[in-house]
Amino acid sequence: MDYESVLPVSSSQIEAYFSEDYLHFSDVVNPPAKSDREVGAIWRLLSLSQGSSVLELGCGYGRITNRLAEKGARVTGLDISPVLIRKAEADAAERNVEVEYVLGDIRSIPWRERFDAAFLWYTTFGYFDEADNERVLHQAASSLRKGGRLLIDQLNRFALLRDKRPTYEVVQRNDDLRIDTIEYDALTDRRNSERIVVRNGSVRRTRLSVRHYGFSEYVRMLRNAGFETVEAYGQEGREFAPCGPRLVVVACK
């Protein structure tokens, strides 16, 4: 695959990737029991309590945001996809919870010193070039009150390096297919993917590239953004393992 056309990722590419096709397969990829478990982990890692004000950056269709609201947090969700935001709002209404959803870019967060906590879950960080990725962290820091916590959940790049290249992931819902071809570029630390969706007699292709960072890079970037402490965890808050599937970073302002 030629990934030169993927970099740098544009807003239109992200919107195309996180479209109605993404929603169509969402419950297969992230079933409700998995989402419930992840919400419990986020609640613990961010030390949330009833009434905590929380911002999810890249909130998608609200699978995490709305569950946090059900647990008693005051939640705001920001996402660039109109399709996903509409779904999040509809789900919030069905659950009878009040969530503030805002259509926008995580590189330009409109709030200052408003939240107790913020988070980027399920590899929502790293879509942009180096400068814009770091800008996201500075923006997140500005949105938090003193003592606020930021959580970032991302695939562990050390585990990605073990995979044979390319790797393929196939998701099926009834007669519809989603096929991802994934290559990890160790020289740029970017996970480049091409997605093919086959639905209703049509075939659609989208591409995405995500920069994956190691913990030492997170420490440098987060301290530059104004955070005082940075901690590393593994998947869903367990102890970090070098070959484990995920790196979870928690920083305190």
pLDDT, residue 13, reads 87
Rounded alpha-carbon distances, angstroms, from residue 181 to 3, 156, 178? 12, 18, 10
- Give domain 160-207's CATH architecture: Single Sheet (2.20)
The token pair that represents 217 in the structure block: 């890079």
Q: pLDDT digit string (tens) for 177-233?
A: 999 999 999 999 999 999 999 999 999 999 999 999 999 999 999 999 999 999 999
C-alpha span between 243 and 241 (Å, rounded): 5
Quick: pLDDT tens for 129-167.
999 999 999 999 999 999 999 999 999 999 988 877 799
Q: Which two tokens stand for residue 149?
A: 């916590």
- Per-domain residue ranges for the chain? 11-156+214-252, 160-207
| Calpha distance 74→90 (Å, rounded) | 17
Give the mean model confidence (pLDDT) for residues 106-116: 98
Query: Are 118 and 140 a contacting pair, CB within 8 Å?
Result: yes
Helix (H) or strand (E) holding 159: helix 157-160
Taking 70 as the threshold, does the pLDDT of residue 2 lie above it? no
**Residue 193 buriedness (CB in 10 A; 0-12 / 13-18 / 19+):** buried
- pLDDT tens digit string along 55-95? 999 999 999 999 999 999 999 999 999 999 999 999 999 99
pLDDT digits (tens, 9 = 90+) for 53-64: 999 999 999 999
pLDDT-based confidence at residue 8 (cuts at 50, 70, 90)? low
> What letter represents residue 233's amino acid?
Y
Q: Is 130 left (phi over 0), alpha (psi -120 to 50) or beta?
A: alpha
pTM of the shown model: 0.95
Q: Are 196 and 203 in contact, with CB atoms under 8 Å apart?
A: yes
Residues in the chain: 253
- Could you tell me which of 92, 87, 62, 91 has the C-alpha nearest to residue 77? 62
Q: Which CATH architecture has domain 11-156+214-252?
A: 3-Layer(aba) Sandwich (3.40)
On whether the CB atoms of residues 227 and 211 are closer than 8 A, the answer is: no
